[in-house]
Amino acid sequence: MIDQAVQHLRAGRLVAFPTETVYGLGADATNADAVRAIFAAKGRPATNPLIVHVADIETAQKFTTGWSDAAQTLAAAWWPGPLTIVLPKHPSIVDEATAGLQTVGLRVPDHPVALELLKAFGGAVAAPSANRSNHLSPTTAEHVRDDLGDRVNLVLDGGPCKVGIESTVLDLTGEVPTILRPGGVSRRQLEFILGTVREPDLVAAPAASQTSPGQMERHYAPLTPAVRFETAQRGLIHPQTDAQSNGIVVLSPLKIFKKWGPIVAMPNDPTEYAQHLYAVLHELDGMRLRTIYIEVPPEKPEWIAIRDRIRRATVPLD
C-alpha cells in the first residue's frame, strides 16, 4: 500500500494517511496542481495555508531558507511529534500550499505509517486534516471515508490517532516565538526550551491569508448544532428531560469516561480528553440529535488546546 500511495503522490493525486494527531489529506507540496486538488476536495478557502510533512530534520532543512538554532533545538526535542514549526519557505514549496505567504509550517509526524510513507516519497507532503472544510477532524480511516468519499484516491488505515487533536503551530519568524494554534505541545513545554513564548488569542478574518491553519472563527465543528456552556451554567441544562425528546447530550469533564445516555462523561485528564474528543463528536453526529451541549473544561493552561477546539466548534449558551 505504501508503494501505491507514493505512486499516487508522484502522479499529483491525493492520499489520506494517519498521523498521531489526526488523519491528513496529502499531496506533493512542490506540485501546484496537486495542492489545488486538496483545496478542491476539502472545499477549503485558498487563504488557509497547509502544513507540510517531512520524514526527518534533514528533509525539513531542504524546504526552508531559514533553519535556525531554535528550530534545531525544537526539532531535536519534539520531532517526530505534534509540533509544527513555521519558517521562511524554500521556493520549491508552491505558493498554493502557503496561501501566498513566504513562510511554511513544517512537521515530522509521530506515526509509523506516516513516516514510512514520507521516507518512501522522499519529499514534502502538504497535508491538512482529511475532512471537508470546517467539519470535524478525522481520527480514524472510517471518518475520512465517510466525509471525503471518492474525493481522495487512497486512504491508508493506521488505526485511531493517539493524540486526537491537531499539532501546535509555532512561528519562529518573528522576534518572539509565537503560538499560532495551540495543540499537542503546550506553551509551558515550549517555554522550557525557548524561554518566552507568545500565545495570542487569534481569530483570522475570513478574507485574509491566515498565518496558520485552525484560525477560522468556526472550525472543527460537528454538523449537529453544538452549544458550549461553563460549569456555572450546569443548572440551565436538563439532559434527562431533553434527551428523551431526542436531542441533547452533555459532554462533561469528569473523572471517568462513559458513554452514552443523556450524559457522556469525558475524562478529567486533558491528554485522554483530547484522544476521545473528535471520535465522540463523530459518533454523536451520527445519532441525529437536535443539539449537542458541551461543558467547557477548566480555564487552565493544560486545557487551552481543547478549549480552543470547543470554542470554534460551538456557539455560546444564551
Binding residues for ATP: 44, 48, 103, 129, 137, 181, 220
Going from the C-alpha of 187 to that of each of 60, 162, 176, 262, the distances in angstroms are 23, 20, 13, 35
* Sequence-ordered list of residues with C-beta below 8 angstroms from that of 217, at least 6 positions apart, any chain: 203, 204, 206, 312
Residue ranges for the binding site for L-threonine?
Answer: 21, 53, 107, 127, 167
DSSP 8-state secondary structure symbol assigned to residue 81: S
Cβ–Cβ < 8 Å for 137, 129? yes
Cis link prior to 88 (omega < 30° from 0)? no
Going from the C-alpha of 279 to that of each of 142, 231, 267, 287, the distances in angstroms are 11, 23, 13, 13
Pinpoint the alpha helices (H) of the chain: 2-10, 32-42, 57-62, 69-78, 112-121, 141-148, 187-194, 239-244, 270-285, 304-313
Residue ranges for the binding site?
Answer: 21, 44, 48, 53, 103, 107, 127, 129, 137, 167, 181, 220
Length of the chain: 318
Could you tell me how far CA 194 lies from the centroid of its own chain? Answer: 23
Residue with cell 500565545: 199
- For residue 167, how many other CB atoms are within 10 A of its CB? 30
Distance CA 149, CA 127 (A): 17
